Structure 1
């Protein structure tokens, strides 16, 4: 199989995240009163938390929001459109249930959103491996056929790099979709398998997935300009962007983008041919690009915040391997900003990059992801060291990552090293927080190991020489990792000194 670059978009992914429709499939407001685009028929709102309903309108307009069924209203809230044209009404928290109708009214506008469910909402965010669609994943046919029997719904946030008329037109065509054979193929495969696993624990609670991703994007795309430029690491990203567009008019930038798109389309069309050549990536940066720093925060994240969610599934980092040393601080800043937009304790489940034949930057990104999960409360690492393909950055097995993310949500833990003791001149005892599977390949360590014994949660290493330090899983592509008895891989680690 031909190697694909770490920054490629997901194969077959849609450019905008919208479906092939030309007519709105939801009630539309007007300049007088317009709820945010994420509100539509079939939506899922978060259970057991206050329900934020928001949008734009005429300053001073009184807005009324009511959630109910055919016989009664469950909750009512009112608010006034602020001077900046935005409004937010907050309904009291409700238990899981439905279907309901959400009524939004003000002035001459009366909107009704039908088939609304209250359940668990998760934001699936990041780049191409989260973007990878269910229709392209292993087991797609079976999953698609089965999807209609599961209470899963999804919303694809339009993929645009700035707020303009094109984005507004896309938003009018967006809608929530209940999963079935005809719709599920365009949702995130990882998120689908995540939801499928979560339903094994609570089969009667509807899962809502907000798909908010763009392949080939850096972490710098997912935060505001102010946040990005508040650190020297982020300022480097910003200055590289300014240098790329310096002296170019928007028409010149569009010409560059169109030329690149032609090259990229030709490369895609040549799939499977021996003279296909290298992927023409990355695309040129422009002031309207999805790939420009801060663009996706403005055109995607801010368009859906503060729509209630249980947490964020974050699968990203491949694009930032050239600047891996900057990643931890930037991911930390991004999480802080998203929590400011939603809630201070919004859980983040970070998918640690799987194995792949990349440069050392891949290893360093994994380390940065683990660092952030350690340092930030309510952030958790989902280790994927048992996943990946050596020569393809887009593994088609998305069931394992999806279920691993769900396992991490349900257990709030990962398989970690607790201690490392040097017993004598050449024996090391490693203790983990979970019982381990019996087979451990000595090649997972960066020292020469002659024998490995596993007992319960401990691993005894017989080393050729007395080690001064030890690294486990510190490779881009290599041996199968240490696994727990529940088939969860141990996180990579470094031991710089041993207990005695």
Structure 2
């Protein structure tokens, strides 16, 4: 008997995007007729030579609930679905970060226990490597969509939960679905195909070529020895660090790292590592597309601060790849990196600048600043509620569709005028937050305009705000969103 395998997002309780054409894809026998029924909808198609079939089905109203039946001559599969809004959350550890570890987990657990919130989620299994023989780790598997309640809240991405809870305040009667496709420690290059990486000369030379050089000519046994050695070092380090944390409660993580050193990272690169270029693209993302989403929330970049000069091209290429695979110009909401002093040799300002540029220049792309949501000594801030709420507000355009950014509207030899977009007025918490090349200069702020003038016939060449790995956020718009860091070269090129 033939088997019917659907896109793994199609399980019971699946949330399907309402009021948009939606994709239904799957695998049956080759050249087999497939019939799909949903209510009065009854359509047929034929699978290709590999058994793959794909249908684009017409929009359904919000709140529609029922069974989609997929049938072949010898098999039938029925899935109970509901139509609402679906969002894809992608990136690395701060998206992966679960509610179980979030600062307000117990309070939120009590909250959801008291009311039904019509929020559902599914976590894409974190398959690090697979071939026809093995899957790493061997214990991961797909689970069905689950409602968010007191029993399941611990498993949900904290950023996703808070942002969708905020989103539902505007649309309380809509069912909302969260798809979490993330993995800590990953570069954007892990989430792109080899073909897309090869399209770029710089990405090929700086990412693919070094990876190939690192794995060429080595055996599986050699890789296993390197990996086991690293694991032992990491376990020893974290055991020591935990002892220091417990024994020295007055010391910050920064102080402790000065005593015992930085955590061992990254692990050795191998052909089986989840950090390898294009790895998770094939083992995680590719498995869920095409699927219809209302938006993608992308929170990633920490790992790519080691080569920040590449990030604008990396992220723009990733977005093009994902939109091509999703077969839609789905909106992207880019969470800009918060402050962090971890890894001081890495270039956090360059990544933040790239994120702001892409939000400015690519269609249907929006920026969410988070400079006020980080901790200098902790790359994983345990409080996700403020940033999550901000993401939800920007998605629903409660105040603005994007966070405030700088735009130069006039510049002369001794003066520059900067407009802060997505702001009506500015709150300044530190008068000396703006820096220039000049010894003497004045800063005047009126509403959302910043005018900087130099004195003594000096020439203004550079203006900076929050241009460091861990700056103190000091400029906010009237609703409390931090202004994106900026560095402006005042001389015309």
TM-score for both structures, normalised by structure 2: 0.87
Matched, 1:234 2:199: no
Question: Contact 2:186–2:303 (CA<8 Å) still a contact in 1?
Answer: yes
Cα distance in structure 2, aligned partners of 1:106 and 1:268: 53
SS in 2 for 1:229: helix
Matched, 1:79 2:67: no
Question: Contact 2:425–2:477 (CA<8 Å) still a contact in 1?
Answer: yes
2:31 to 41, 60, 66: 60
Question: Contact 1:158–1:167 (CA<8 Å) still a contact in 2?
Answer: no
Number of positions where the alignment pairs a residue of Structure 1 with one of Structure 2:
463
2:85 to 113, 120, 131: 120
Cα distance in structure 1, aligned partners of 2:300 and 2:440: 34
Q: Deviations over 1:389-448 (max 9, x none)?
A: 1111111121122122223223323212244556995x7553323122443423321236
Shift of 1:315: 0.6
Cα distance in structure 2, aligned partners of 1:323 and 1:234: 11
| Residue in 2 that maps onto 1:405 | 391
2:480 to 464, 481, 487: 487
1:229-268 residue pairs with structure 2 within 5 A? 229-235=198-204, 236-268=206-238
Question: Contact 2:23–2:292 (CA<8 Å) still a contact in 1?
Answer: yes
Cα distance in structure 1, aligned partners of 2:209 and 2:2: 37
SS in 2 for 1:442: coil
SS in 2 for 1:97: coil
| Residue in 2 that maps onto 1:153 | 120
Matched, 1:130 2:95: yes
Residues 470 and 106 of structure 1, relative CA distance in 2, 3 Å threshold: same
Q: Deviations over 1:46-89 (max 9, x none)?
A: 1111121112121011122223xxxxx15333221111221112
Cα distance in structure 1, aligned partners of 2:285 and 2:362: 21
- Larger mean CA deviation between 272-281 and 41-50 belongs to 272-281
1:138-177 residue pairs with structure 2 within 5 A? 138-147=103-112, 149-164=116-131, 165-166=134-135, 173-177=142-146
1:303 to 268, 277, 287: 287
Cα distance in structure 2, aligned partners of 1:292 and 1:33: 32
Q: Deviations over 1:142-199 (max 9, x none)?
A: 1223235321111111111334353797675422111011212112111111101100
SS in 2 for 1:432: strand
2:419 to 422, 425, 431: 431
| Residue in 2 that maps onto 1:22 | none
SS in 2 for 1:446: strand
Residues 482 and 246 of structure 1, relative CA distance in 2, 3 Å threshold: same
Question: Contact 1:76–1:91 (CA<8 Å) still a contact in 2?
Answer: no
Shift of 1:266: 3.7
| Residue in 2 that maps onto 1:470 | 463
Question: Contact 1:65–1:89 (CA<8 Å) still a contact in 2?
Answer: no
Matched, 1:445 2:416: no
Cα distance in structure 2, aligned partners of 1:168 and 1:89: 32
Question: Contact 1:359–1:476 (CA<8 Å) still a contact in 2?
Answer: no
Matched, 1:103 2:69: yes
SS in 2 for 1:443: coil
Residues 390 and 171 of structure 1, relative CA distance in 2, 3 Å threshold: closer
1:195 to 150, 164, 168: 164
SS in 1 for 2:34: strand
- Structure 2: runs of 5+ lacking an equivalent: 245-258
1:381-400 residue pairs with structure 2 within 5 A? 381-400=367-386
Residues 259 and 113 of structure 1, relative CA distance in 2, 3 Å threshold: farther
Question: Contact 2:307–2:346 (CA<8 Å) still a contact in 1?
Answer: no
Matched, 1:283 2:267: yes
Shift of 1:461: 4.8
- Structure 1: runs of 5+ lacking an equivalent: 1-29, 68-72
SS in 2 for 1:483: strand
Question: Contact 1:32–1:107 (CA<8 Å) still a contact in 2?
Answer: no
